[in-house]
Amino acid sequence: MPVSPQNREPATLSGMSGRVLRAADGVAWGMALVSGGLFLVVSFYITLDVIGRKFFHLSTAVSDEFGGYALAIGGMWALAHTLRMGAHVRIDILLPHLPPGVRALLNYAALVVMACFASIVAVYVWRLTLDSLAIDARAMSFIRTPLCLPQGFMAIGFTMLSLEALVILAVGVAESLKQGRLAPLAGMQTADEGEVA
């Protein structure tokens, strides 16, 4: 079960930046819960479908399609929460050995790259969704699912990842200006700074 950001982050942020970060965290947390619920439901569905095929010669014939949609949608909807928890894969062999100022600067640079990447992907997935909607593109399957539906849900996931990265970055910059030095980014500290890398 995902860890709530409110239970993990010390209540050091106050004012507008704290409220904005908590609001973004709440949306990302809710999307992560929906993602986990979706994976749970589809696992039961696939299990029942396999049992039905094996013992009763009955099948919905779309379990692979639904499984693919669940993997794509659920994975994308959990990205923002994963970023906030600092749980994306990071190769930090050298990072813990660098001076704190350099570590902070590299964390900011990594977050800028993440925000740019997520924003670009979100724009292109939204374009794909709108194109699929315009031409009524459908899956080549038994139920002919409109492709704009899974694509739209994926676009929402990437959009939230982009927004979460931008909010963390904005809060970090605001805190840095307040403190007169580069403040640590929420969820981006290395293991020796007391966070999970």
Q: Which residue has the tokens 């700074």?
A: 193
Of 34-48, 102-116, 174-188, minimum mean pLDDT range = 174-188
Please report whether residue 87 resides in a domain.
Answer: yes
Whether 117 is in a domain gets the answer: yes
In a domain, 9, yes or no: no
Share of the chain above pLDDT 90, in %: 59
Q: What is the pLDDT of residue 89?
A: 83
Q: What is the pLDDT of residues 23-48, one digit of tens each?
A: 999 999 999 999 999 999 999 999 99
User: What range does the domain containing 187 cover?
Assistant: 14-193
Angle between helices 148-179 and 15-56 (to 10 degrees): 150
Element of type H or E holding 92: none
Residue 1 domain flag? no
60-99 residue pLDDT tens: 888 889 999 999 999 999 999 999 998 888 777 888 888 9
Burial 62-73, CB ≥16 within 10 A → b, else e: bbebbbebbeeb
**CA atoms within a 13 Å half-sphere pointing along the CA-CB vector of 145:** 15
Q: Is residue 41 part of a domain?
A: yes
Question: How far, in Å, CA of 175 to CA of 107, rounded?
Answer: 15
pLDDT, tens digit (0-9, with 9 covering 90-100), for 156-180: 999 999 999 999 999 999 888 988 8
Higher-confidence position of 1 and 45: 45
The whole-number pLDDT of residue 191 equals 47
Split into its structural domains, the chain has a count of 1
